[in-house]
Amino acid sequence: MGGGGAAANMDPEYNEQQQRFQNLEKRAMKLLQETKDYRGSISAMTNSQHALSKNLSAFLLDVQRPQDYQAAYRQAAQTIDQVSQPQFDEVYMHTVLQPMAQFCGYLPEFNKAIKKRKNLADDLERARKALAKEQTKGQQDPMSIERAEMDVQYAEEAYNVMNRTLIGEIPKLINSRVYVVDPSFEAFVKSQLQFFNDSLQQMDSVTRYLPPQGGPNDDRVLDQRIGDVMAQVRSLSICNHNVV
């Protein structure tokens, strides 16, 4: 299939595949960024939890009757941050983030090929204009016309090869995303399940130091206890107009 310049841009088969590629690229890069963000959010969460546990102990350092839950919570948060999270991170990197990054790493090569196709189309357009110029000269030079015709032929062949390659390869790239996402998604779910199960086991070790759950009224009881404490704080004269 020949054509350069404007004719190349009117190739409906190629235009469809280029549009599909652009949509894929946009969604793939967004998904890659979200996988990176998720990894960062897990790390930030466990780091913050560990820091909170340490500051909780420091906040109550001089309490005459230190609560056992402080040490238990600090140990649980430390284990989650320094053991569970790194284990999750290693699995996540190898099974989710790296495969997605590798897939996205091929996208620039297709962009280079798309740019090259455009350049070849421009070359073909220039070769055809040069041939037309030779053919419309008052005194035609057969040798010059023959060279111009060969230039058109070479340019057309190069353009057609790249055009056919893109039309054939873009659908293969689009279809291959399934073979990346399916196993990565399975690994993602399993790694999440393992991480949150590990975290739950660590937090279970803290609950034995807390009062047993009494049922649906637990929240109301806790609210009442907190309210009673805040009432005592408000009773301090310096707080009368500062604590709501």
Reported confidence tier of residue 216, pLDDT bands at 50, 70, 90: low
Reported confidence tier of residue 207, pLDDT bands at 50, 70, 90: confident
Q: Is the pLDDT of residue 69 over 70?
A: yes
Cα–Cα distance for residue pair 115/73, rounded to 1 Å: 57
Question: How do residues 129-150 score in pLDDT, each as one tens digit?
Answer: 998 888 888 777 788 888 989 9
Cα–Cα distance for residue pair 238/244, rounded to 1 Å: 13
What pLDDT shows up at residue 43?
96
Query: 150-181 b/e with 16+ CB inside 10 Å = b?
Result: ebbeebbebbeebbeebbeebeebeeeeeeeb
Q: Is the pLDDT of residue 1 over 50?
A: no
Neighbours of 51 (CB within 10 A): 12
Give me the phi and psi of 47, to 5 degrees please. -65, -45
Q: What is the mean pLDDT of the chain?
A: 86
What pLDDT shows up at residue 210?
77
* Residue 163 CB partners (closer than 8 Å, separation 6+): 1, 8, 11, 14, 117
What pLDDT shows up at residue 243?
46
Token code pair at residue 75: 């140990």
**H-only helix segments in the chain:** 6-9, 12-59, 68-79, 85-92, 98-105, 107-135, 142-207, 218-234
Q: Is the pLDDT of residue 111 over 80?
A: yes
Helix (H, G, I), strand (E, B) or coil at 242: coil
Higher pLDDT, 98 or 62: 98
Closest CA to 242 of 227, 230, 229: 230
Closest CA to 202 of 23, 96, 117, 79: 79
Cα–Cα distance for residue pair 199/195, rounded to 1 Å: 6
Whole-structure pTM value: 0.79
